[in-house]
Amino acid sequence: MTLETVDTLWLGGMAFENSIDGHKFIVDAAEEFGGKNKGPKPKPLLLNSLAGCTGMDVVSILGKMKQKLSWFNVRVEGDLGDVHPKTYQTIRLTFQFKKSDNLDDSKVRKAVSLSQDQYCGVSEMLKKASDLSWEIEYLD
């Protein structure tokens, strides 16, 4: 087992400075909730963690499959419920690639499937709380 630690220092109001492995950033609430909008809200950072985790998997796996990427994006959309505590009821991942890269679609699908079913711990945790789905898009 590996212990990971983050520190979250209150800065006043609704703002907190977060320190993760020496990297610092601020989270805050929107002004309508008492914040000053100095940084992202915490819940979207959860979606960002998901995108980063699965994105790193996909890039690594496709690299091992000798698939060359010139551009890659992971879009994550989460639908928050209306009742407190508001949680993401559904989360949709869209793995976006360039058509011009001429990637082997079966390899792309395998890479995404491996990430979602075997490697991405963030996906695995979120699947226990949300309906998580994914799709692949090839853009011009």
How do residues 49-106 score in pLDDT, each as one tens digit? 999 999 999 999 999 999 999 999 999 999 999 999 999 999 999 999 999 999 999 9
Q: Based on the fold, state whether residues 63 and 130 are members of the same structural domain.
A: yes
Q: Based on the fold, state whether residues 73 and 110 are members of the same structural domain.
A: yes
Please tell me the pTM assigned to this model.
0.94
Q: Based on the fold, state whether residues 61 and 106 are members of the same structural domain.
A: yes
Provide the pLDDT for residue 59: 98
- For residue 27, list its beta bridge partners: 16
Q: Based on the fold, state whether residues 34 and 48 are members of the same structural domain.
A: no
Residue 108: helix, strand or coil by DSSP? helix
Q: Based on the fold, state whether residues 120 and 62 are members of the same structural domain.
A: yes
The domain that contains 70 carries what CATH number? 3.30.300.20
Q: If pLDDT is split at 50, 70 and 90, which confidence band does 39 have? A: very high
- State mean pLDDT over 6-34: 96
Domain that holds residue 51: 42-139
- For residue 131, list its beta bridge partners: 90
Q: Based on the fold, state whether residues 84 and 72 are members of the same structural domain.
A: yes
**Which contiguous run of DSSP H or E holds residue 48?**
helix 42-64
Strands 15-20 and 7-12: antiparallel
Number of domains in the chain: 2
Q: Based on the fold, state whether residues 121 and 99 are members of the same structural domain.
A: yes
